[in-house]
């Protein structure tokens, strides 16, 4: 969107499944793309703010965390605000990357939340037995074939489930901490103008999907509105009247 103003607001999209894998033959990943665009926005003195346009169901934990850290570092080092604009979906990793933003705008019908961690797989040993396929496994330790779908259920050691659950719980704890830290930091920067986390917000952090309106009521979102509302908010936070998008 053009403007007579020399000021700029950069729009960075986080759309689709969040992944650290290359998106094309160039070897560039979504994480690389976001980091590079933030770098360019930081080096351009005319850029006054960034809008993170999120439309994602989530994805890889590490990739989401990389983007989260990049946004957090950008705001701290450059002093330029990042405003999250949630589209039709900003769930799980989509909320994770929004959490460090200075301000979060969602539509009432945005699907968000899904704060949690999941790891799943299939056990196909029963099917293998039916067709007469027997696995041959040689391993260096008793846990080397952990999560193998070819093991009989009764062959799975109790410790396997305990270890996997411990990993899930650790990552889940990190997810909740970045939500809490991000929202508290934003509220401090906004001098109380945005929403604060509801006292019972952790009750909603059980993996459930929330509408934008429910997320707003829980303090996970600062404002309800559309794209125009997001742009107006970015201008206001940046302290400018107009800008090129």
How many angstroms separate the CA atoms of 81 and 75, rounded?
6
Strand duo 111-113 + 103-106: pairing: unpaired
CA torsion, points 203, 206, 208, 214, in degrees to nearest 10?
30
- Say whether 140 is catalytic: no
Q: Which residue among 29, 92, 98, 114 is the active-site one?
A: 92
- Say whether 144 is catalytic: yes
Find all residues with CB under 8 Å of 43, minimum gap 6, and list them: none
**Both tokens assigned to 63:** 């990739």
Identify whether the C-beta of residue 100 lies closer than 8 Å to the C-beta of residue 68. Answer: yes
Q: Which residue among 144, 152, 188, 241 is the active-site one?
A: 144
How many angstroms separate the CA atoms of 164 and 186, rounded?
33
Find all residues with CB under 8 Å of 239, minimum gap 6, and list them: 48
Provide the 10 A C-beta neighbour count for residue 199.
9
How many angstroms separate the CA atoms of 219 and 188, rounded?
14
Catalytic residue IDs: 92, 144
């Amino acid at each position: 969107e053009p403007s007579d103003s020399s000021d700029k607001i950069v729009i960075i999209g986080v759309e689709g499944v969040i992944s650290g894998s290359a998106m094309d033959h160039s070897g560039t990943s979504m994480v690389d793309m976001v980091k590079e665009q933030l770098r360019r926005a930081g080096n351009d003195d005319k850029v006054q703010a960034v809008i993170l346009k999120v439309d994602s169901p989530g994805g890889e934990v590490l990739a989401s965390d990389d983007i989260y850290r990049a946004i957090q570092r950008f705001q701290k080092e450059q002093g330029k605000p990042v405003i999250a604009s949630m589209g039709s979906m900003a769930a799980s990793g989509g909320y994770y990357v929004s959490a460090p933003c200075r301000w979060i705008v969602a539509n009432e019908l945005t699907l968000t939340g899904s704060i949690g961690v999941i790891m799943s797989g299939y056990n196909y040993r029963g099917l293998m037995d039916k067709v007469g396929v027997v696995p041959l496994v040689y391993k260096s330790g008793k846990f080397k074939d952990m999560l193998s779908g070819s093991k009989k259920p009764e062959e799975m050691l109790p410790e396997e489930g305990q270890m996997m659950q411990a990993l899930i719980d650790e990552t889940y704890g990190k997810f909740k901490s970045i939500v809490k830290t991000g929202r508290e930091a934003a509220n401090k920067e906004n001098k109380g103008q945005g929403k604060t986390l509801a006292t019972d917000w952790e009750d909603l952090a059980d993996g459930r999907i929330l509408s934008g309106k429910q997320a707003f009521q829980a303090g996970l979102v600062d404002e309800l509105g559309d794209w125009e509302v997001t742009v107006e908010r970015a201008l206001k936070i940046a302290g400018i009247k107009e800008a090129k998008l």
